[in-house]
Each structure stands twice: as structure tokens, then as C-alpha cells.
Structure 1
Amino acid sequence: MMVKLNAEGLIPVITQDAASHEVLTLAYMSKESIQKTLDEKQVWFYSRSRSKLWKKGESSGNEMNVKSIQADCDYDAILVQVEPTGPACHTGHISCFHNKIEDATISSSNEHNSSVIEELYATIQQRKKDMPSDSYTSKLFASGTDKIAQKVIEEAGETALAGVGKNKENTIGEISDLIYHLLVMMSNLDITPTDIWSELKNRSK
């Protein structure tokens, strides 16, 4: 029996470590990505944000070797048991399901949240790994810790001056620049956004 795709031509897919049975990711597949996964025995997803097929691990190297593929009782969801070659989550965690929910606080879909920071951090991590010659981020890493720290100081000063000038648009831009350079410093010191969220949570008690 064929699986049932939704109105967008996609089906939700859960990946699970075949050895530990830990749930790793929740993503989507299209008809084409299902077929490529079956043919290549490597996990292929469909990116809704980029509207294209993508192979798990194509940029990070953290691929998923397929051990089995099963549909649920209604054929509208898929479970793929895999042998991962590295962390499944772009944050560096083994599983994407690492955020503990302790209350019923819900964010609306149009709110900006920590995932934006984590996505930017993941991109910075990839630049550090690949070190492309035309990347500003790579040049920062190559310049060393002192230079990165100097840039953080410069951006902090520019942010403060923009705030004093009471120009909201300029201040938003400077804060964004500061956050970016802070994330570069974090990556350079192997500090993750999760480390920061944990510390901030401790301070809110």
C-alpha cells in the first residue's frame, strides 16, 4: 500500500537510532525523497523552507544509514530506523529532542525564538569546519581569539552609541552585528547556545 502524502505532497518522518531506539529527528519527505532513501539507503528529506530535496549530512557529514523504513497504521507517517554517523541535530546534540518542557508556555508561530540563533550558530559552526576562503566568518576564525574578541568589543561600543543616539533602526542593526560576533566567539570557545540558555534560566530563578 502506498503512503499518504498531505496536501503539500509531503509526509512527516521520524528517524530513530536503530541501536539505542532514541528518537533523533522529525522532518518531511516527498515522493522523490522517499524513493532516493529507499534506493541509496541514506536518508533524504524535503526542505519546506528551501523547497528542495536534501540529503541528511550533506553539509555536516552527519549522515544517516538506513536500517529499516516503516509506515504507521494509517500510512500517513513514516519511521526510519537508522545508523547515524554523527549528531542528528544542527546544534550538535545527538537528538533534536533535547529541550525539556517544564510548563505549558506556548510560543505563537510568528514569534522569533531561539531557533533563529541556533540556525545562525549552526551556519557559523559549518564555516569553522569548512573554512571557505571567501567567507568573512572563516577569516575571523583564522585571525584568532584576540581578533574575534576585539571585534566583539567594537560591536558592543557601536551598539551602545546607537542606543545613546536613540535610533531604533540603527540600534537593531548594531545589536544584530553584536550577536553575530558573540556567536563567533562562542563557537571559537566551543560554547553552544544551549549553554547560554541554561545559564540564563539559572539566573531567572
Structure 2
Amino acid sequence: MSQPLEQQLPLEELQKTIQWDAHGLVPAVVQDAATKDVLMVAYMNRESLAKSVETGETWFWSRSRQELWHKGATSGNTQQISDLRYDCDGDTLLVLVRRNGPACHTGEDTCFYRSAAKAGDVSPAAPSTSLAGEGRFAVLGELEQIIKERYETRPEGAYTTYLFEKGIDKILKKVGEETAESIIAAKNGDNDELRLEVSDLLYHLLVLLRERNLPLDDIMSELDRRHERPRRD
């Protein structure tokens, strides 16, 4: 369920920080919070930015229709904002979202589904030695690394920085909230909502592990040891 964003910067100050163009607009790059795929690029004005912060979902300004539009209001493919950032020049927004369906009006997951050019013979990256970085669970290893970097550098305005600054009690509160919301989604039989809530829960669990300096590899090793134990049934 969407809710207002926890602001690191008051809305009025954020609106003053943004470098609006001559039409009062700023480009907003929308990125999947879990996969890091770039989903779309749209424009916000002061009002749509305010509504995005107020509702926790993406609102934009349509240059063709000259009106506000709530992403997914008609299709149901809404985008719940997990983090809202601005670049070093203040002339571009980065909106990390949990999406309820495709981002593109064509039905594709991302608007950037067509390739214009690709690199030729590029050597593959060295495989990760981390248990969490193997196969289909590679995103967990990548997310753990990002959280580690946030813990060490504490970039201003990042949601992960906010959690670490607030400390263990805030992190545990979020883990509890996401656990409860996952339970509710499962009880309601809503797998789309369950997917979103469990993704949030896993993220906050990784934040908790970093706060306690417990590597994800230790969890994976424990699961591996349990798998190797003789069955008792």
C-alpha cells in the first residue's frame, strides 16, 4: 500500500534545489528498485513532484496533453516510490520504484526494450565467489554490495543512509512492518502485492544484516549445511 514518502529534504527546499527548465519541468528517470532496470523517462513539474511525495506513487506532467497524469491510474500499472533522488546539478530526478506491472504502454516491462547498438567482443566479468552472487540469486549479492557501499559512504538523501542513521530500532521496525505486509498480502491471495512486499522485506533484511555485520554468505552457508543434514522424516 502506498504512503507518503519519508522526506530527507522538506518539499519546499527540494523544489528550490531542483533546476527547473524554462517550462517549469525536470526530467525524471524511473528505475526498478530491485533489478535496477531503467523503466522510463518522463517529466515532473512542481505539482507532480509534490503529489508524488504526498502519495508515494509516481505523478508526472504530460507535455503532449498539458496535464498531470498519475502513472497507472487507468491501466493499474502504478509505481510505488521507494527512493527519490536528484543529481549533483539538481537538473534530473531519479525515481526508484516498485512497479505493479509493465512500465511501457506497449506492455513491455521497460520503455527501453529496443536495442540500437551493442558492444562487440566484450570479455565477461569474472564470476563472483560469493554464494549469494551465483545464478538466479545474483541480484541479492549485488544488492548486498550496494547496501555495504551505502553503509560506508552514507550518501546524502539515500533511503538506505536514512535507515543506518536512524539505527537498529528503525531498521527492526521496518522489518516488522514489511513482514506484516507480506503476511497480509499472502492472506489476501494477492501474489502481485506479495511479490512487492517480499522484495521490500528482503531488502530491509539485508540492511539489518549489514547493520549487525553479518554477511549474507553466512546465511547461505547455514542453509547449505541444513540441506546436507540427513532427513529425519
Report the TM-score when normalising by structure 2. Answer: 0.43
Report the TM-score when normalising by structure 1. Answer: 0.49
